[in-house]
Structure 1
Amino acid sequence: MEKQTITIYDVAREASVSMATVSRVVNGNPNVKPATRKKVLEVIDRLDYRPNAVARGLASKKTTTVGLIIPDVTNMFFSSLARGIDDVATMYKYNIILANSDENSQKEVQVVNNLLAKQVDGLIYMGHDISDSIRSEFSRSKTPVVLAGSIDPDQQVGSVNIDYIAAVAAATKQLLTSGNKRVAFVSGPLTEALNSQYRLRGYKKALDEAGVAYDESLVFESQYSYQSGLALFERLQKAKATAAIVSDDEVAIGILNAARDAGVKIPEDFEIIASNNTKLTEMSRPRMTSIDQPLYDIGAVAMRLLTKMMNKEEIDEKTIMLGYDITERDSTK
């Protein structure tokens, strides 16, 4: 037997109230007598009525849906951010449509357009890079956009992050202070503003303050994957690096494991500082020292900022910077 779709009309009839009253109860409008509200909620419960989000969206011109663009669902950095986003979305009764862009700029444009076609009320973008094509999609659509855990140098869209320049400078300084003459900087692609304009600047700043000359042969670009980290260690050894600051935790674990496979002692012969303090840093042996970005909070604050934008609330600051720490573990002296 096919399940009958229960409509707002059925609820109104069963509860002997108008459809407008049912609508007010469903949408949390306070102008309903408590006894009436209780009766309507009981009928909703008994009939298992589920308001039709699409129909509701047509009536209010809002779908209460947010599009979440995630470059790699399997990377713990993004999944930690997504948890914070999801919790706040639930609190404000927004649904989330998750789209995986595979860190591919053509696919990103396609994904943005697909989400906009679904009439989402807002977008949270987690890509490390805002390409010109993505930027033009953002400005063409009037949909509010917030970046979570990334940064827009042009500050056209909202973003929530940490001070990446200061964080990388602090980590680099720590490695120099513990006696390393050749500290490598392992970064994601330098075409990404986050890496070239922020993290690399932090690295250079620390070298400069310590009176150490910048050496390009100690800067390594890498994809954000464990495999890339494994492959990199040999190159770090050839460059005579004795320490590395690594901008992705999977890459850091790859370097750590390759070092141990090569019989290199961590941290005695080689020190590593990771960047995201995801669970991976606790799971590795030795456990890894890391810049600690409050990933869950970054996600939560990004979603809250987006709700303000979607509701056209007053916003003091489009770029929000949260604090960071360096969590000391066993991959540094």
Structure 2
Amino acid sequence: MATIRDVAKLAGVSVATVSRVLNQNGYVNKETEKTVLQSMKELSFEPSQIARRLAGKTMKTLSLILPDISNPFFPELARGVEDIAQQHQFNVFLGNSDNLEKKEKSYIEVMQKKSIDGLIIVSNTVEEETIRKLQNAKIPVVLLDRPFTGNNCSIVRARNSEGAQLAVKHLFEVGCRKIAHISGPDNINPAYERLIAYTDMVSGHDWFSESLIEDGGFDIKGGREAMKRLLQSNADIDGVFAGNDLMALGALKELLQMGIKVPEQIAICGFDGIQLTEYTEPGITTIAQPIYEMGALATEVLIKKIQGEEHENKIFELPVKLIQRNSTNKNHVQMGGLAWRKK
């Protein structure tokens, strides 16, 4: 592998001159610069990325750390990150933490050693101290789809509470009178926000009880098991709001397996807007997050920080929308009904 000394020797200049050409620092006449660049090309010389970092140059490399790449929500998020990164000639390293704090910390340490330019983290466990260490190392951080109690990084997320309210209101409006909730793990903030919004919407009704809430673990299997438990404790429910689309898929599978008609007997609404919900039978009504756009925006914000164009830390909350499909398409839709209001 060619070194900077090899380039200097072939070009007939000093190592310092080659360094000035590499770092665009200091005067080098055009003819000499042309000779040095030609020598680099002939020797297939590539400057050390670490040396570039020390010289104040960017490596054009980002890292994205996700909690669960098997969840279809996250590949779409990652696609938004990658597309915008490529537009700016940045590469993206991906780490899948499996929701494990130890694995997440290991990824962050490895990425830091590789001298990446910035990090996008989707995490339930990242600590303020970790963020502070990255900031001290001059590595900008953007948190995606998660809030953070500190104020030293920007955050991009969707309006979870608003989306959950839309879901419950919609179930009331299509005629549901006893709505259950399949929640995600309460240590995941979006899941917790959706749970609280559901509770606020239904707790004023005389039929409400804690037995109408079951944890589905944010996956298909958990959603199916939660649906089974709900039917055992509340056989008269006629609506289900699932905290994400995977749990809605599991709930739908369980209901159909038991011969329960959807939506005639029980209507289902999920949350996220992943493509799978469009292809089930019946299709699943969902509260769609702008998944791709969230990843894209997080990347734009991070690159601006890397390039010194953005110094202020902000929270960006993107809107959500209801996409109605046949899982809530009851015949007795109450047009403009107000049944969702607390009694």
Q: TM-score range by the shorter chain?
A: 0.7 to 0.9
**In the superposition, relative to structure 1, how do residues 22 and 283 fare at CA in structure 2: closer, same or farther (>3 Å)?**
farther
Q: Secondary structure at the match of 1:275?
A: strand
Gaps of 5+ in 2: 330-343
Matched, 1:53 2:46: no
Amino acid at match of 1:235: R
- Deviation, structure 1 residue 55: 3.5
Q: Does 2:205 correspond to 1:205?
A: no
- Equivalent residue letter for 2:224: L
How far did residue 9 of structure 1 move?
A: 7.5
Q: Deviations over 1:54-102 (max 9, x none)?
A: 4422332643322211111121111111111111112222222211111
Alpha-carbon contact 2:289-2:320 (below 8 Å) kept = yes
Q: Distance in 2 between matches of 1:205 and 1:228?
A: 24
Q: Which residue of 2 aligns with 1:160?
A: 156
Residues 12 and 85 (structure 1), Cα distance of their counterparts in 2 relative to 1, 3 Å cut = farther
Deviations 1:239-281 (A, max 9, x none): 2332212122222111111111111111111111111111111
User: Given the alignment of the two structures, is residue 80 of structure 1 paired with residue 76 of structure 2, yes or no?
Assistant: yes
Q: Determine which of 239, 244, 247 is the counterpart of 1:243.
A: 239
Q: CA RMSD in A?
A: 3.3
The amino acid of 1:206's aligned partner reads M
Indicate the SS of the match to 2:298. helix
Task: Tell me the distance in 1 between the aligned counterparts of 2:140 and 2:74.
Answer: 20
Task: Mark the structure with the bigger radius of gyration.
Answer: 2
Deviation at 1:168, TM superposition (A): 0.6
Residue 48 (structure 1) shift: 6.2
Structure 2 residue 205 is the aligned partner of structure 1 residue 218: no
SS at match of 2:63: strand
How far residue 174 of structure 1 moved from its aligned partner, in angstroms, is 0.5
How many Å apart are 1:165 and its aligned residue? 0.8
Does residue 282 of structure 2 align to residue 294 of structure 1? no
2:219 is the alignment partner of 1:232: no
- Separation of aligned partners in 2, 1:20 and 1:282: 56
Whole-Å separation in 2 of the counterparts to 1:182 and 1:295 = 30
Q: For residues 45 and 199 of structure 1, do their structure 2 counterparts lie closer, same or farther at Cα, with a shift above 3 Å needed? A: farther
Q: Does the aligned pair in 1 maintain the 2:61–2:90 contact within 8 Å?
A: yes
- Shift of the 162–155 alpha-carbon distance from structure 1 to 2, 3 Å rule, reads farther
Letter in 2 for 1:236: L
* Residues 1:314 and 2:310 aligned together: yes
1:138 is aligned to: 131
**1:272 aligns to 2:268 (yes or no):** yes
Name the CA shift for 1:56/1:231 in 2 (closer, same or farther; >3 Å): same
Partners of 1:65 and 1:95 within 8 A in 2: yes
The residue matched to 1:140 in structure 2 has which SS? helix
1:98-137 CA-partner distances (Å, limit 9, x unpaired):
111111123222322332233322211112x245xx2321
After superposition, residues 29-40 of structure 1 pair within 5 angstroms as: none
Is this contact kept in 1: 2:134–2:141, CA < 8 A? Answer: no
Q: Tell me which amino acid in the other structure corresponds to 2:201.
A: A
Do the aligned partners of 2:285 and 2:324 also contact (CA within 8 Å) in 1? Answer: yes
Q: CA deviation at 1:169?
A: 0.3
2:107 is the counterpart of 1:111: yes
State the alpha-carbon separation in 2 of the partners of residues 38 and 284 from structure 1: 61
CA distance in 2, matches of 1:229, 1:32: 68
After superposition, the C-alpha distances for 1:34-69 in whole angstroms (9 at most, x for unaligned) are: x99999999988876655434422332643322211
Q: TM-score, normalised by structure 1?
A: 0.82
Residue number in structure 2 paired with 1:192? 188
- Aligned amino acid, residue 243 of structure 1: G
> SS of the counterpart of 2:116?
coil
Gap regions ≥5 residues in structure 1: none
Q: Deviations over 1:133-181 (max 9, x none)?
A: x232112331322111222255543111111111110111110122212
| Aligned amino acid, residue 149 of structure 1 | D
SS at match of 2:272: coil
What SS does structure 2 have at the residue aligned with 1:172?
helix
Q: Residue 89 of structure 2 aligns with which residue?
A: 93
Residue 334 of structure 2 corresponds to which residue in structure 1? none
Amino acid at match of 2:129: S
Partner Cα separation in structure 1 for residue 12 and residue 264 of structure 2: 77
Distance between the aligned counterparts of 1:15 and 1:283, measured in 2?
62
Aligned pairs, how many? 319
State the partner residue of 1:252.
248
Of all paired residues, the percent bearing the same amino acid is 31
